[in-house]
Amino acid sequence: MACDATIIPAPDQLEMRSGHFILTNNSTLFAIPEFKTAVNFLKAYLLNGTGISIDSAPQAAASIVIIKDNSIPKEGYSLSILKKGITIKASDGQGAFYAVQSLRQILPPVLEKSNTTIIDSITIACMEIKDAPRFSYRGMHLDVSRHFFPKEFIKQYITWLAALKFNTFHWHLTDDQGWRIEIKKYPELTRKGAFRKETLIGHYNDTPQRFDGKPYGGFYTQQEVKEIIAFAKAHHVTIIPEIELPGHAQAAISAYPSLSCTAQEIPVATKWGVFENIYCPKPETFTFLKNVLDEVIELFPGTYIHIGGDEAPKSRWDACTHCQQLINQMGLEDSHGLQSYFITEIEKHINARGKKMIGWDEILEGGLAPNATVMSWRGTQGAIAAAKQGHDVILTPSSHAYFDYYQAAHQEEPTAIGGYLPLKKVFGFNPVPKALQQTDAALHVLGAQGNVWTEYMATQDQIAYMVFPRIFAMSEVVWSGPTKNLETDYADFLVRLEPNLKRLDLKQINYGNHLYDIEGDVVKNQGKVIYNLTTPTQGKEIKYSINGGKQQVYTQGLHISKDVIINAQLYKDNLALGRAFSDTIHYHKAINASVVVNVAPHPAYGAGGTDALINGVLGSNTRFADKQWLGFWGDDLQITITFAKPTKISKISTRFYKANGQWLYAPKTLEIQTDFGTLPMVKLPATDQPILDVNLKADGITSFIKISVPSFGVIPDGLQGAGNKAWTFIDEIVVE
């Protein structure tokens, strides 16, 4: 059997050599005892995949040798496949293990299918690999609170990480919708806090919200946690447990109501979002949290404990006599100061136990705890600020690292929380923010992590679908380093990805396959409107038709000069691949104009660029995460459309997306300026519809249209995201 070197993450150096090594039942192995994890993995993998059993032999006689070389960087390795045998060198156990993971991807994919195939010999092409990671922190996260997943699945998840050389599993164990880890001292946490009455079905934004009426829950016993930790260790994965505080604590408070400011009885949350009942910083709460953390610290051998710290609304603290007294007594500024005090108290305890604390970037508010590591999720600002203060940071910005976001704009994608994070965007991620590049503070960037929040992932298959293939791209970012040439490197990545997807097929792992999707883009070229069709991989054919006409092979951009519907399909050897594609282009008066917006769209919601405002293509009616809707966070917008020559217009239309549960609000007013004057300020109605349609009469001849769109402002009390800036999502500006 032949093989191909399609390794992900891409090794630092790989050189093919002539000839082959043939691995058989007679092959033997020598390894130093320190590298037993790598050896155990390799032996089991070969035995399961082929029936080949490798015996041990002295170094001089062995055909596979795994030895120490202290000149090799931490976690790095060399892998030399010569005709006479295979030599792996590493300076630590991780490196030896990662060499085996690379070897695994060099071996034929069929080995992934365990216990089914008997193979006598494997022919492996000769090559030399030298490899080491770019970042020391390479993480994947999993939320087991919103949905619970059994021990067996957690182990499987860890195997996914290890295969791609991730070294950290961030286990989000507690949240409003369920407490998932047994704490011996507080049995109610799991007796009561691990179960909810029912669960939201459909999307949070659906009106009315619907529930399944079925009790739901589960938790890990400490025995199971130990078993998972041991399993992770055997895969060179360190687990970081997350115990959320002071917010996302409703499940804990449902078990022990006196931990909150009001001591009211509340249920475990049954829907998603941010909840106002948070821990009250009273002595009893600190005793509770320190006891909980002590049991967690006792269980988990890793250096880090994650304490959450995100999304803790301060309304209860603002109304609590104890909290207000504490603010006065400690001379704190306000509730943010109190959050900082809370986190610092917890950090002292964690540090005293010899561990380090990580928190989400909200722990910067009111002042960072002295030794904290910051996980930056609301963009990169938190990472930049913390690194400049000399703190270590881990990058998980929602714009590039939230695997709960949609990976494709297709209407038929399974329901997700929102957002738009296609594979290529993950691949293009640079964990070191621009503001830190070429500064000493960049050394504080430990690495990055993909986050898997499970509100909309109720099954293991759905997790796999959202994780794969984006985890491949993230592994390459954190191991091989960020790309220096997105287009060429991404094309190379896809060539390596295709065979890896076949491996997933063999292992019956679900994944989102968008490699055979077609994308359409309107571009302007020398006064002409051109429509380009593209597909990510090479060697395929796109066939298209316009307005239901004859199907033709696509060779170059299509010139558009009227309203059209374009249908297309991808083919390889005349066999249809992937999904059918359709796009509707409305050739309105602004399509060939130019557009400028005073601020750039948010990086998570600007896939189409500002040109998406006048490209003739409408966004989805049911989701705001695509290439057409543009999202702005709290900005007052000034959108200026400039025509090539004075143009007679009669009507201006646009739309705003509303999803209050996710902080999206339509503006309350609009103002429009043209050559023929400023139109009277338009008051926009507040409606229950998810989309606000705006249609304005505007008669006259003008060379420009300037639309002022003030942000809705701050989200009112009592609503999701209260106190935060509202988002504005705007679609096409259609000019007739």
| Minimum distance, C-beta of residue 69 to ligand ACM, in the bound complex (Å) | 40
Report residue 106: phi and psi, to 5°. Answer: -85, -30
Q: Residue 158 corresponds to which tokens in the numbers above?
A: 């860890």
Residue 143 contacts ligand ACM per CB under 6 A = no
Positive/negative CA dihedral, 594, 600, 603, 606? negative
Residue 377 contacts ligand ACM per CB under 6 A = yes
Binding partner of residue 630 among Zn ion, ligand ACM, none, CB cut-off 5 to 8 Å per kind: none
| Minimum distance, C-beta of residue 313 to Zn ion, in the bound complex (Å) | 13
Q: Residue 704 corresponds to which tokens in the numbers above?
A: 């420009």
Between residues 360 and 468, which has the closer beta carbon with respect to ligand ACM? 360
* Set 112, 276, 311, 517: catalytic member: 311
Query: Residue with the closest Cβ to ligand ACM?
Result: 310
Report residue 398: phi and psi, to 5°. Answer: -55, -30
Between residues 43 and 314, which has the closer beta carbon with respect to Zn ion? 314
| Minimum distance, C-beta of residue 396 to ligand ACM, in the bound complex (Å) | 8
Pairwise CA distance, residues 219 & 193, whole Å: 9
Q: Is 248 a catalytic residue?
A: yes
User: Which stretch of DSSP H or E encloses residue 700?
Assistant: strand 691-709
Eight-state DSSP code of residue 322: H
Residues sharing a CB contact under 8 Å with residue 196, sequence separation 6 or more, in sequence order: 177, 178, 215, 216, 217, 251, 267, 268, 269, 270
| Minimum distance, C-beta of residue 334 to Zn ion, in the bound complex (Å) | 14
Q: Is 235 a catalytic residue?
A: no
Between residues 157 and 377, which has the closer beta carbon with respect to ligand ACM? 377
Binding partner of residue 191 among ligand ACM, Zn ion, none, CB cut-off 5 to 8 Å per kind: none
Binding partner of residue 362 among ligand ACM, Zn ion, none, CB cut-off 5 to 8 Å per kind: none
| Minimum distance, C-beta of residue 377 to ligand ACM, in the bound complex (Å) | 4
Q: Is 311 a catalytic residue?
A: yes
CB 238 within 8 A of CB 169: yes
| Minimum distance, C-beta of residue 280 to Zn ion, in the bound complex (Å) | 3
Q: In the beta sheet, which residues pair with residue 22?
A: 123
Between residues 360 and 605, which has the closer beta carbon with respect to ligand ACM? 360
| Minimum distance, C-beta of residue 472 to Zn ion, in the bound complex (Å) | 46
Report residue 632: phi and psi, to 5°. Answer: -130, 135
Binding partner of residue 261 among Zn ion, ligand ACM, none, CB cut-off 5 to 8 Å per kind: Zn ion
Binding partner of residue 311 among Zn ion, ligand ACM, none, CB cut-off 5 to 8 Å per kind: ligand ACM
Peptide bond into 246 cis (omega under 30): yes
Q: Scan for tokens 């282009």, then name that residue.
A: 585
Binding partner of residue 310 among ligand ACM, Zn ion, none, CB cut-off 5 to 8 Å per kind: ligand ACM
CA angle (100 as vertex; 94, 103 as ends), nearest 5:
145
Binding partner of residue 377 among ligand ACM, Zn ion, none, CB cut-off 5 to 8 Å per kind: ligand ACM
Between residues 379 and 433, which has the closer beta carbon with respect to ligand ACM? 379
| Minimum distance, C-beta of residue 265 to Zn ion, in the bound complex (Å) | 16
Between residues 311 and 731, which has the closer beta carbon with respect to ligand ACM? 311
Segment 299-318, which members bind ligand ACM (CB under 6 A)? 310-311
Between residues 92 and 175, which has the closer beta carbon with respect to ligand ACM? 175
Q: In the beta sheet, which residues pair with residue 671?
A: 708
* Set 75, 92, 175, 732: catalytic member: 175
Binding partner of residue 280 among ligand ACM, Zn ion, none, CB cut-off 5 to 8 Å per kind: Zn ion
Residue 517 contacts ligand ACM per CB under 6 A = no
Pairwise CA distance, residues 420 & 402, whole Å: 9
What pairing do the DSSP bridges indicate for beta strands 137-143 and 445-450? Answer: parallel
Report residue 529: phi and psi, to 5°. Answer: -100, 120
Pairwise CA distance, residues 378 & 362, whole Å: 9
Report residue 630: phi and psi, to 5°. Answer: -115, 135
Segment 331-360, which members bind ligand ACM (CB under 6 A)? 360
CB 385 within 8 A of CB 445: no
Residue 176 contacts ligand ACM per CB under 6 A = no
Residues at the site binding Zn ion, with contacts judged by CB under 5 A? 261, 280, 320, 322-323
* Set 141, 170, 172, 248: catalytic member: 248
CB 203 within 8 A of CB 210: no
Between residues 227 and 310, which has the closer beta carbon with respect to ligand ACM? 310
What separation in angstroms does the CA of 241 have from each of 178, 226, 244, 446? Answer: 15, 12, 10, 18
Instruction: Note the residues at the interface with ligand ACM (CB under 6 A).
Output: 310-311, 360, 377
Q: Annotated active-site positions, please?
A: 175, 248, 311
